[in-house]
Structure 1
Amino acid sequence: MIVEVPDGVVDGRSGQQHHFLVRAAPRQQPHQVAVAARARIGKAQVVRAIAQRCNMSLKDANYVYSIILRTIINELHTGSRVVLPGIGRFKKIAIAPRRFVKPGTGESVMSTRSSKISFRPSNYLKSEI
Structure 2
Amino acid sequence: MFNSEQESRKGRKQSSTALRENMAGKIQVLTLDEREQLLPMLRNAQWAEVVGRDALYKEFIFKDFNQAFGFMSRVALQAEKMDHHPEWFNVYNKVHITLSTHECGGLSKRDISLATFIDQVSVL
Structure 1 length-normalised TM: 0.29
Structure ranking higher on relative contact order (CA contacts 8 Å, 6+ apart): 2
Asked which structure has the greater CA Rg, the reply is 1
Structure 2 length-normalised TM: 0.30
